[in-house]
Amino acid sequence: MRRSVSYTVPSQWEGRPVKEFLRRYLGLSARVLVKQKQTEEGLLKNGLPCRSVDLLSAGDVLELRFPEETVSYEPVEGPLAILWEDQDFLVVDKPPQMPVHPSPGHDRDSLLNRVAYYYKQTMQSPAFRPLYRLDRDTSGALAIGKHRVAASSAQVEKRYYAVCQGKLCGEGTVDAPIGLAPGSKILRQCGEGGQRAVTHWKALAVGDGHTLLEFRLETGRTHQIRVHMAYLGHPLAGGAIHWRETTCMAALEKRSFGRRFIAGIYLFFARRWGWI
């Protein structure tokens, strides 16, 4: 199934070239722009093929067409909470204990299996691109680009929330490389030879020997928050390899942080041409 997206040119882009609109307004990378130019009838202005150097007029409709793409994930029916959807993006609420991608042992029960089923039911292109990863145990908003232009241009900033052991005040940054622990294919630890990892934390509340923290990540290493907090000597509540939402909820209820807590992430999501 071949799909396309269209954008109406604002007045401030009058007299400027198509490529400048695509690069600066829509935020396309140079690589994606080249791909779009190489696609047959990949760029249309008011329904007619155009070149990237052609000049625009206010009110022009610029259409980008994409080649047919095959199904990326097996469609499997299941509940799917949609937070936002338009022609470019789909944002869904990922529940805890569910992997984002299919994997051995989870080839039919991942979040993307459910997204593929939703796309099939709504007759949308079966190809889509998650904009980032979420660990299986983490709940929160997952943004998905519906095509390569959306995936190239999206700006995503996430906030993570979790409860750690011990009392922390103020805020700080952990800049410590993360790699696999010796002899393990799963456990990770801070140490020389690992990949650079940077975590910014901020204490929000303290109670009964635990602290509610907000995190912002500069890098996306596997289990980064858990590993960095253990490195600081303040492991996440529960002490397990994988922090779980139920553990966080129990900690909050027992330590007077309040019951109405959403474990996982808070999402700041923008595209170059407007906030969502």
pLDDT digits (tens, 9 = 90+) for 140-183: 888 898 888 888 777 777 888 888 899 999 999 999 999 999 98
Residue 198 and residue 113 share a domain: no
Q: Which of 130, 153, 176 is the last residue of a domain?
A: 153
- pLDDT value at residue 239: 46
Residues 6+ apart with CB under 8 A from 38: none
Whether 273 is covered by a domain: the verdict is no
Question: Are the C-beta atoms of 153 and 272 separated by less than 8 Å?
Answer: yes
For residue range 180-196, what is the model confidence (pLDDT) as tens digits? 999 888 899 999 889 99
Helix (H) or strand (E) holding 212: strand 210-217
The answer to whether residues 176 and 257 belong to one domain is yes
The number of folded domains in the chain is: 3
pTM of the model: 0.67
Q: Is residue 74 part of a domain?
A: no
Residue 145 included in any domain:
yes
CATH of residue 56's domain is 3.10.290.10
Residues in the chain: 276
Structural domain that includes position 31: 4-65
The C-alpha atoms of residue 168 and residue 229 are separated, in whole angstroms, by 11
Mean pLDDT of 256-272: 47
pLDDT per residue as tens digits for the range 33-84:
998 999 999 999 999 999 999 999 999 999 999 887 776 789 999 999 999 8
Q: What angle do CA 103, 158, 121 make, to 5 degrees?
A: 50
Do the domain assignments include residue 146? Answer: yes
Q: Is residue 251 part of a domain?
A: yes
pLDDT higher for 57 or 128? 57
Q: Are residues 34 and 53 in the same domain?
A: yes
CATH of the domain at 89: 3.30.2350.10
The catalytic residue among 60, 88, 135, 137 is 135
Rounded percentage of the chain residues whose pLDDT exceeds 70: 85
Last residue within a domain, chosen from 96, 123, 153? 153
Annotated catalytic residue 109: no
Same domain, 149 and 161: no
Extract the runs of DSSP E, i.e. beta strands, from 46-138.
48-49, 61-65, 81-85, 89-94, 129-130
B/e letters for 199-224, b = 16+ CB within 10 Å, e = fewer, are bebebeebbeebbbbebbbeeebebb
Same domain, residue pair 162 and 149: no
3-state secondary structure of 95: coil
Is the per-residue pLDDT at 233 higher than 90? yes
Residue at 275 is within a domain: no
Same domain flag for 255 and 205: yes
Is residue 210, in this structure, part of any structural domain at all? yes
Of the pLDDT bands very low, low, confident and very high (cuts 50, 70, 90), residue 8 is: very high
Give, in order, the Cα–Cα distances in Å from 266 to each of 122, 134, 140, 214, 235. Answer: 27, 12, 7, 10, 21
pLDDT band at 24 (very low <50, low <70, confident <90, very high): confident
pLDDT value, residue 125: 79
Verify that 232 and 196 share a domain, yes or no.
Answer: yes
Is residue 93 in a domain? yes
Q: Assess whether pLDDT exceeds 60 at residue 276.
A: no
46 and 126 co-located in one domain: no
Whether 165 and 148 share a structural domain:
no
pLDDT band of 244, cuts 50, 70, 90: very low
Could you list the beta-strand ranges (E) of the chain. Answer: 4-8, 43-45, 48-49, 61-65, 81-85, 89-94, 129-130, 140-145, 155-165, 171-175, 178-180, 188-190, 198-207, 210-217, 264-271, 274-275
